[in-house]
Amino acid sequence: MKTLRKLGSAIAVATVSMGMTAGALAEEVNIGFTGPLSGGAALYGENVLSGIKMAAEEVNAAGGIDIDGTNYTVNLIALDDGYSPAQAATNAKRLKKESGVSAVFVPHSGGIFALQDFNEKDDFLIMAYTSVPSVTQKGNELTLRIPPTFDGYVTAFTDYAMKHDGKKLGMGGATHEYAKIWAGMMKKQWTAEGGEVVADNPMDYNKSADFYTGVSRIISEAPDVMFVGGASEPTGLVVQQARQLGFQGSFIVMDQAKLDEVAEVAGGLEMMEGAIGVVPLSVYETKPAQDFIKRYKAKYSKMPGSEAAYNYLAMHALIEAMDKQNTTEAKALRAGVPEALKSMDDSKNPYEVKEVDAGGGFITETTLAVVEDGKIVQKPIE
């Protein structure tokens, strides 16, 4: 039954998008997306896309936007790059050439770096969904970074773990580009604060068949804290296997993984007692966040993660900027998004992001949550 319904909706989507292309001749403004929609990271790409899509559909349902007196609807064009930077670059070129997009959403650092080579020349805005600090430090004038950078987390997590759990750290992070940069900063920070890294054994979270060997290697060095994290689900397996092998300490969870999603795979929050990570969206109690969760659940019947929420608000800000600036010109949008964030309705802004720094990074408060007695508890950062 469920299958039939899904099949039905797939056909419906296909028909609707065909209808949209037919109407594309006149008043449509195109916005691009390139990200993993197949392969091991497909879920992540789909989650990002779901937020962007939801914003676009809300705008269209409310009658679209006005640019210079003409009414436009938003047309989102999503291409699959399978997490490959080279494919992301090809996709971006294609989006620009074939559809004349003025902005492209990219949810992975490799793809973002690849696009930054030519986006200023080709004149499109990169909506970058990555926490790697350097994407907005290299002076690219047409990049907006949506989530907070992770350097804030590194210090906050280290401080908390040192104070509560101990000085010995076992590194069991992932091996993709993003995780490597994270792990490098983590290690530096940990030793700078007088801690000791007793084991350094990164594992390929996306391609490993099993983590038992890697995890037992780390545990044999008896760390107090274990650094873990790639995508939420494999991270859950790592946590579960560490506990099975008798690890009693706590975890520092890299921001790519969300505590609630990790717990689902690991076998419940009890398995993660003491784990330190970013505050999952589900724990936010503000009205805009709760409202967003409710609408998202009604639409997709699942709990949204931060990637959906951040991209949702970024898409809204981008569309609002087009409306306010009366243009789809990339430079004007880059300048218009910060104002749009300030002026747009809170219901479109689940994280209540209000400002953008000079480099193009959205300014969000760094948050920290700890699993205590089987619950995710937000903690102040000292």
Partner 1 sequence: MNLFFQQIINGMTLGSIYGLVALGLTLVYGILHIPNFAHGALYMVGAFMTYFLMVDIGAHYWVAMAGSAIIVAIVAVLSERLVFHPLRNSPPIHDKIAAIGILLFLEALVQMIWGADFRRISSPYTGILNFDGLIIPEQRLLIIVGAFVLVAALQLFLRKTMTGATIIAMAQNRDGAFLVGIDANRVAMMTFAISGILAAFAATLYAPINLVYPAMGHVVIMKAFVIIILGGMGSIPGAIVGGMIIGFAEAFGGFYISTSYKDIIAFGLLVVILSIRPQGLFTKGAH
Residues 6+ apart with CB under 8 A from 9: none
In DSSP terms, 33 is beta-bridged to 78, 105
Vertex 238: Cα angle to 231 and 303 (nearest 5): 45
- The distance of closest approach from Cβ of residue 297 to partner 1 in the complex, given in angstroms and rounded to an integer, is 15
C-beta closer to partner 1: residue 2 or 163: 2
Residue 239: closest CA among 208, 281, 273, 207: 273
Distance CA(157)–CA(153), nearest Å, equals 6
- The distance of closest approach from Cβ of residue 199 to partner 1 in the complex, given in angstroms and rounded to an integer, is 10
Residue 283: strand, helix, or coil: helix
Tell me the chain's radius of gyration from C-alpha atoms: 21
Q: Contact at 8 Å (CB) between 196 and 168?
A: yes
Q: Is 210 in the site for partner 1 (CB under 8 A)?
A: yes
Residues 154, 51, 24, 324, CA torsion sign: negative
Size of the site for partner 1 (CB under 8 A): 35
Burial class (CB in 10 A: 0-12, 13-18, 19+), 167: middle
Contacts with partner 1, 129-168, as mask; x by CB under 8 A: ----------------------------------------
Q: Is 10 in the site for partner 1 (CB under 8 A)?
A: yes
What are 266's two structure tokens? 């690991």
Please report, as residue ranges, which positions from 15 to 74 form the binding site for partner 1 (by CB under 8 A): 37-40, 42-43, 45-46
| C-alpha distances in Å from residue 188, one per residue of 95, 191, 194 | 40, 5, 10
What are 228's two structure tokens? 């873990």
Q: Is 6 in the site for partner 1 (CB under 8 A)?
A: yes
Q: Is 234 in the site for partner 1 (CB under 8 A)?
A: yes
Considering only 17, 70, 191, 244, the residue that binds partner 1 (CB under 8 A) is 244
C-beta closer to partner 1: residue 133 or 202: 202
Residues 6+ apart with CB under 8 A from 17: none
Considering only 154, 237, 263, 341, the residue that binds partner 1 (CB under 8 A) is 237
In DSSP terms, 196 is beta-bridged to 168
Q: Is 245 in the site for partner 1 (CB under 8 A)?
A: yes
C-beta closer to partner 1: residue 285 or 301: 301
Considering only 2, 63, 68, 301, the residue that binds partner 1 (CB under 8 A) is 2
- Segment contacting partner 1 (CB under 8 A): 2-10, 19-27, 104-112, 316-324? 2-10
C-beta closer to partner 1: residue 198 or 245: 245
Q: Is 213 in the site for partner 1 (CB under 8 A)?
A: yes
* Strand positions, DSSP E, 21-63: 28-35
Considering only 31, 265, 333, 376, the residue that binds partner 1 (CB under 8 A) is 265
Question: Which residues of this chain interact with partner 1, rule CB under 8 A?
Answer: 2-3, 6-7, 10, 37-40, 42-43, 45-46, 175, 201-204, 207-210, 212-214, 216-217, 220, 233-234, 237, 244-246, 265
